[in-house]
Amino acid sequence: MGYQVIARKWRPALFTEVIGQESVVRTLKNAVSSGRIGHAYLFSGPRGVGKTTIARIFAKCLNCVNGPTSEPCNACGLCKAITGGHSVDVLEIDGASNTDVDNIRELRESVKYAPAEGKYKIYIIDEVHMLSKSAFNALLKTLEEPPPFVVFMFATTEPHKIPMTIHSRCQRFDFKRVPVRKIHDRLADIAKKEDIKASDDALYLIAREADGSMRDGQSLLEQVISFSGASIGRVEVLDALGLMDRTVIFNLCEAVLKKDAIACLNIVEKMHVFGYDFKKVISELLEQVRDLAVIKVTDGASFPDLPESEMNILRDLAGLAGLERLQLQFSVLSKGYEELIRSTTPRYSLEMTLLKALHMDDVTPMSEIIAKIDALKGGSARPAPANISSDLGGVPGASATAPLVKKTFAVEKPAIEVKENAPAVDCAPVKASKPLVQPGAASLDAGYPPHGVGLAAVKTGQAVPLFFKEGSGEIADVIPGFLDYLKERDRLTFNRLES
């Protein structure tokens, strides 16, 4: 037998070997154990997470000589035939190559015949979302009422493209991305069985690059082994896969937080020389700023998908900025990411985004600002002048402890019709025909209102400020005389206009 790649050689053959899909495995095992076997299943999720693998294991559970059983033997002829992909009762169909309605018609004709060897006739249609609308419609009746010995298993990465009429006739299982830590552990186990010496940092880089796909992780491990041989280190992984060293992102993030513009530009220059993808650079920088914000909120809690060495670096970086500043920088980098995607000069877009982000300062939280305002409101009042009587222009009876209140009286201009060629109005101060202040009241000419704001200076349409002690009776003595003055002024003005 020829060489088998790692992804096929170490493909799970039992439910217990499947990693990262515990809920799906438990449901299918219980269905087999209780005899509640459905006639149609829809497996949806990202690439390389085990959809087709679980469909094959489920088929072995149904057609094993000991079955239906939740643990197939993998030793009988039926199990071996299903594992090898040449069982006559388990048909694997590529949906991308059989999209026409004619292909579904052939399937409908073959459904009528009973299985040749096993107890069930199983159709596994991969990438089922590639079927045409006519093909889906032709499958509806058969899918709703198939023969009792037929089981359909659909696998897709884009379930939203499948009509709801198909969804309603299937049991749907959503597969999750495999965590980085579980991919790392699985790759370490495979490397040990293959007699490959691999460091934890190297396996972590491979697991991170797999992006939640176990199959991708195994394929990348195969590629690195071909490059470096029986010993795999961090440098070998970076060279074999053309990855950017994580320390570069750490250094770039540190330069942004320390507002070191020269260091930022130098790092971008090195990235340009090495040919790194700037879109991926800013994407990883966004992820790191997000991690720093999470560390600030959780008081330095560890992430399960990050090694402890990187967690220590992140904790040190988190002390360089506050949470509000990190949130502002995340917003700037997010907008920069959108601009970089559309830009014809991504390097310049990245540089300008970094320069904008590093000039973000720590801001005071709104709650703290409100608390300071409340403290000022509840504090002691501003001390009044010692000689309040002199400030009031000599008003008798003024108290040094009473606060000052400013009152404004608006003087409205009377509606007067001005004739053509009328003589100019003399706006000079006029003398009242009678005293403005009643006998016994405070004298206005004695400095009240304050010096420079005498009543003779009041003009039509202006506001007259009067300062007085709140709660005293002195303002009641001033207002009648002031109103008399206004009436006398208006009367004299009107007479001049009439003449």
CB 143 within 8 A of CB 111: no
H helix intervals, 198-258: 200-210, 214-228, 234-241, 246-257
Three-state DSSP class for 82? helix
CB 237 within 8 A of CB 224: yes
Q: Which residues fall within 8 angstroms of residue 403, CB to CB, at 6 or more apart?
A: 381, 384, 470
- pLDDT of the residue at 397: 43
Q: In whole angstroms, what is the distance from residue 56 CA to residue 79 CA?
A: 9
- pLDDT of the residue at 368: 77
- pLDDT of the residue at 452: 41
Three-state DSSP class for 179? coil
Question: ω into residue 365 within 30 of 0, thus cis?
Answer: no
CB 72 within 8 A of CB 57: yes
Q: Is 237 exposed, middle or buried (0-12, 13-18, 19+ CB in 10 A)?
A: buried
- pLDDT of the residue at 198: 92
- pLDDT of the residue at 440: 46
Query: pLDDT tens per residue, the chain (499 residues)?
Result: 578 899 999 999 999 999 999 999 999 999 999 989 999 999 999 999 999 999 999 999 999 998 799 899 999 999 999 998 889 999 999 988 888 888 888 899 899 899 988 899 999 999 999 999 999 999 998 999 999 999 999 999 999 999 999 999 999 999 999 999 999 999 999 999 999 999 998 999 999 999 899 999 999 999 999 998 889 998 999 989 888 888 899 999 999 999 999 999 999 999 998 888 899 999 999 999 999 999 988 887 777 778 888 888 998 998 888 888 899 999 999 999 999 999 999 999 999 999 999 887 766 667 777 888 888 876 544 444 444 444 444 444 444 444 444 444 444 444 444 444 445 444 444 444 444 444 444 444 444 444 444 444 444 444 444 444 444 445 455 566 666 777 777 777 767 666 6
- pLDDT of the residue at 499: 62
Question: ω into residue 68 within 30 of 0, thus cis?
Answer: yes
Write the single-letter amino acid at 400. Answer: A
333: enclosing H helix or E strand: helix 323-342
